[in-house]
Every structure is written in C-alpha cells, then in structure tokens.
Amino acid sequence: MKNKGVVKRYIFGLVLGLSLAAVAPAALANNHYFIQMKVKNGSELDIRTNKKETGDCRGMSKKKGCVRVPVDDRNLKVSFLLAGNSKCKRANGAKWKLSGVTLGGKGSSKKPASWGGFERDQEVKKDFVFLDAGKGTLQPSSASSDRIFTISDKNQSTYTVWYKVEAICVDARGTTFGAPIFSDPRIENTGTTGR
C-alpha cells in the first residue's frame, strides 16, 4: 500500500514537471509569466525566454527578461525557473538554487548601483510583497522552491523598476560556495493608464 502512494506522488511530480517544461519558455494567458533561466559558465544567470514572451518592453529596457505588465492586470504572477543541469562545479555535490529576487532603481534608465530603498515608496509597496522593503527583497509565493521562485505584481501604478534574480551554489548541508550569480532586467508596470 505504501508503494502506491509513492508511485502516485512520483507520477504527479512527473506530470507537473513536464507541464512546467512545456510552458516555461512562454508567457501563459492566465496572468502568469514564466522566465526560464540557466547558469552560464558558472558566473551568471542567462535568461532563455524570448523578450516578446514577457510583454515586449519598450526603450532601453528592451532585453530578455524585461516584463511589461499589461494595463489593468491586477494579479500578475512571475515565475523564474532555473532550467538545465543544476550541478555547481564549485564543490562536489553542490547545486545551484534560486535564492531570491530583489527590486531597485525605480524610474531609472540604468541598472541601480544599490538595491532596495522602498521603505517610504507606497506605489511599489502596494504592488509587491516585500520581505524587507529597505533592502528590496521580495517574498516568494508558497509555490516557490530551489528551482522556481514566484512573485506577485498588483500593477496599480505606472513606473519601471529593476529586478535582480540571484542563485547560489550550495551543498546538502547548506554550505554556500562563492559569490551569488544573478540577472537583472526590468519590470514595466503600466498601471491603469498605460504609457
């Protein structure tokens, strides 16, 4: 009897994994973007999702991973997926895992020198759920894991903000090896009026 439960969980996990793999490169219709990322040369997170699949941002932010939130979309989910082999060559048995998403540089045309600073910014605090608004670190959804990090965006105001997705190399004991790697495109919120 015990084996039937294990088999059912395995089949469910397999079906879920295949479903995510099938939709990962593209945006879904139900207010959910999937941004597929891969570790490149052990030194950066490379975004694999085509820019047209995440809302086709305008201007200087027109690069892979930039998310343009449609006008009046009040409950967008963005899932960052770590694809490919997660083996980290920095240490035996270590793996890459997504460790967080941080916001910064609201309204800036250039990548911010520092992240966070949203303690008093009501627009950004209404749109995103923070672990720490001062540092800009976002709260992951309950569906997040080592390879999937999901955030929510309520898109109530019009502005652009940078996001940084980080991955760390960690072993089974939780020991981290080396510095985190990251990718840092932008989110363009169109609010209720668009632009």
- Looking at the chain, the number of H-run helices and the number of E-run strands are 2, 11
pLDDT tens per residue across span 21-47: 433 434 444 688 888 999 998 888 988
Q: Are 148 and 98 in contact (CB under 8 A)?
A: yes
What is the residue extent of each domain of the chain?
Answer: 25-190
Is residue 85 over pLDDT 80? yes
Q: Is 92 exposed, middle or buried (0-12, 13-18, 19+ CB in 10 A)?
A: exposed
Within 10 angstroms of residue 114's Cβ, the number of other Cβ atoms is: 9
pLDDT for 15 equals 35
Q: Are 77 and 150 in contact (CB under 8 A)?
A: yes
**pLDDT mean across residues, the chain:** 80
pLDDT tens per residue across span 53-83: 665 566 544 567 778 887 777 888 989 999 9
Min mean pLDDT across 20-24, 128-132, 142-146, 147-151 is at 20-24
